[in-house]
Amino acid sequence: RLLIIDFGSQVTQLIARRLRELNIYCEIHPFNAVDDAFLRDFAPQAVILSGGPGSVPAEGSPRAPALVWSLGVPLLGICYGQQLMMDALGGKVESGLHAEYGRAFVQPATGHTADGIFAGLFDGGQEEVWMSHGDRVTKIADGFEVIGISPNAPFAIVADETRNFYGVQFHPEVHHTPNGKRLLENFTRLAGFTGDWTMASYRGEAIRKIREQVGDKRVICGLSGGVDSSVAAVLIHEAIGDQLTCVFVDHGLLRLNEAEEVVTMFRDNYNIPLIHADESEMFLGALEGVTDPEVKRKTIGKLFIDVFQKYANEIEGAEFLAQGTLYPDVIESVSFAGGPSVTIKSHHNVGGLPEKMGLKLVEPLRELFKDEVRALGTELGLPAKFIGRHPFPGPGLAIRCPGEVTREKLDILRQADAVFIDQIRKHGLYDDIWQAFVAILPVRTVGVMGDGRTYDFACALRAVTSVDGMTADYYPFTHQFLGETATRIINEVKGINRCTYDITSKPPGTIEWE
């Protein structure tokens, strides 16, 4: 496996993404958690030192443990990582003066052509790369030579080919360096990786680890019906069978037929022991009169924990709690700026539970990115329709119902949402959209249907494209699609007489309405 030491670059995660795409297993660890003991224990087959906002000449700037230079494994330093490598091995780095941001072109230094780290590169004589650095190397370390240059970075690529140490001033991991992945691939080939890490091998390894961790103890798993917790549950069930019990808390804020679908899938298709906790009365009761979005979220989050705990207590001998935590949630961010960030929304999750309950965690998806979880789900035989489902928030329909949440509004919302999703599926658009749903607005408007007057709720359709939910764009439906959908919703859903389309991007909007 390959170790990525993170020095705080905004794009460190992309190094891991690119390597995973090459079927190479890697892990990111922050520089301040990597010491000699860690390195010995991890025993990496190669190490990549990431970029970062620090400045090597500055006192107290982040360092790598000295052992890294004498491990005897191939190293690749990117940007800050390159500068660190040069500084540590006898070169020199200077601050200021040489800042360079954006596109640049690198050429091989005289005498260096298409093999080794350069295999398949420089076909057109030069490579487009993305630079982002304030300092630069002014003297390279002993044993190194310059093998790539750019107009502003005379040490764009340096190498000590006998030790397989490489340093690049630019960022090969970003899309703006079109052939950067090839360079990363070449580096990993030099380090002996063949790209044989697949979901099938992950599945086997994960099952072995779960068995080893859990032994003959019992595990409980909170199911939300989302992809992550479902894949985790199926994987754990494969590992330990009926030592696993799932608890599905139905808070009465689910979509049309959702509870039945989840329960059927787990009980009938997988034979996984499942407690279906129908607690909708309690949740909807607690939400009576609540209109503030944060109060709604906190009310639901707190009750969820109480209910989960109540059912978990009934499972005798449970020592572990399974969670579908993913890699992006795990990577510790390396922060130099510090300072608290503003809470936009309190996301509802089961954080804090295990501590309160005295349970140990089983998190078999900790090393995976979202698309890898989907691939694992496919590997485990979960239905494609289920794996490709749009994300659904923990607080459910409550945050798609601005104002007070009532049963009447929830029923109307469920119907409208089902029509909208049906329309999207019929037009073959479901997989092009990150998330689509209806929000029911807290206003009634006047309409005319047949010869009569109506005074019903208005709704808003929301559909966005996104990569990770952090930013989003509204989906550009055709007017015909929108018109047809509005007509269907108003005709088929009693209680709605007006339909709007939300064309706000994120930012400044958020995806959900609350």
Q: Which residues bind ligand XMP (CB under 6 A)?
A: 345, 347-348, 391, 393-395, 435, 469, 506, 510-512
224 is in an annotated binding site: yes
Query: In angstroms, what is the minimal distance from the CB of 397 to ligand XMP?
Result: 11
Alpha carbons 323 and 339: distance in angstroms, whole number: 29
Alpha carbons 68 and 441: distance in angstroms, whole number: 58
One-letter amino acid identity for 276? H
Q: Where are the alpha helices (DSSP H) in 89-224?
A: 180-190, 199-214
Nearest CA to 56 out of 92, 98, 28 is that of 92
Q: Which residues contact 295 (CB under 8 A, 6 or more apart)?
A: none
One-letter amino acid identity for 508? P
One-letter amino acid identity for 410? L
225 is in an annotated binding site: yes
What region, left, alpha or beta, does residue 445 occupy, with left being phi > 0 and alpha being psi -120 to 50 degrees? beta
**Nearer residue to ligand XMP within complex by CB, 97 or 344:** 344
Contact 194, 47 (CB under 8 A): no
**Nearer residue to ligand XMP within complex by CB, 411 or 512:** 512
Query: In angstroms, what is the minimal distance from the CB of 260 to ligand XMP?
Result: 21
- Half-sphere exposure (CA, 13 Å, Cβ side) for 500? 12
Burial annotation 251-262 (CB, 10 A radius, 16+ → b, else e):
bbbbbbebbeeb
Long-range contacts of 150-158 (CB under 8 A, 24+ apart): 150/104, 150/105, 150/106, 150/107, 151/104, 151/105, 152/98, 152/100, 152/104, 153/100, 153/104, 153/106, 155/82, 155/86, 156/104, 156/106, 156/129, 157/106, 157/117, 158/82, 158/86
**Nearer residue to ligand XMP within complex by CB, 181 or 348:** 348
Q: Which residues contact 173 (CB under 8 A, 6 or more apart)?
A: 11, 14, 15, 17, 18, 78, 180, 184
Query: In angstroms, what is the minimal distance from the CB of 391 to ligand XMP?
Result: 4
Query: In angstroms, what is the minimal distance from the CB of 388 to ligand XMP?
Result: 14
What region, left, alpha or beta, does residue 43 occupy, with left being phi > 0 and alpha being psi -120 to 50 degrees? left
**Nearer residue to ligand XMP within complex by CB, 176 or 366:** 366
What region, left, alpha or beta, does residue 469 occupy, with left being phi > 0 and alpha being psi -120 to 50 degrees? left
Residue written as tokens 């990525």?
4
The dihedral over CA atoms of 80, 81, 84, 86, expressed in degrees to the nearest 10, equals -110
61 is in an annotated binding site: no
**Nearer residue to ligand XMP within complex by CB, 162 or 341:** 341
Among all residues, which ones are annotated catalytic? 79, 171, 173
Query: In angstroms, what is the minimal distance from the CB of 305 to ligand XMP?
Result: 13
53: tokens are: 């906002």
What is the C-alpha end-to-end distance of the chain, expressed in Å? Answer: 42
228 is in an annotated binding site: yes
Q: Beta strand pairing status for 153-160 and 165-168?
A: antiparallel
227 is in an annotated binding site: yes
Query: In angstroms, what is the minimal distance from the CB of 298 to ligand XMP?
Result: 10
Query: In angstroms, what is the minimal distance from the CB of 255 to ligand XMP?
Result: 12
**Nearer residue to ligand XMP within complex by CB, 79 or 439:** 439
DSSP calls for 275-313: EEEE-HHHHHHHTTT---HHHHHHHHHHHHHHHHHHHHH
Alpha carbons 320 and 361: distance in angstroms, whole number: 6
**Nearer residue to ligand XMP within complex by CB, 117 or 421:** 421
Contact 245, 401 (CB under 8 A): no
341 is in an annotated binding site: no
Query: In angstroms, what is the minimal distance from the CB of 511 to ligand XMP?
Result: 3
- Dihedral sign for Cα atoms in the order 32, 35, 37, 43: positive
**Nearer residue to ligand XMP within complex by CB, 126 or 510:** 510
**Nearer residue to ligand XMP within complex by CB, 69 or 501:** 501
Alpha carbons 8 and 17: distance in angstroms, whole number: 16
Query: In angstroms, what is the minimal distance from the CB of 353 to ligand XMP?
Result: 14
Which positions make up the binding site for ATP? 224-230
Residues at the binding site are: 224-230
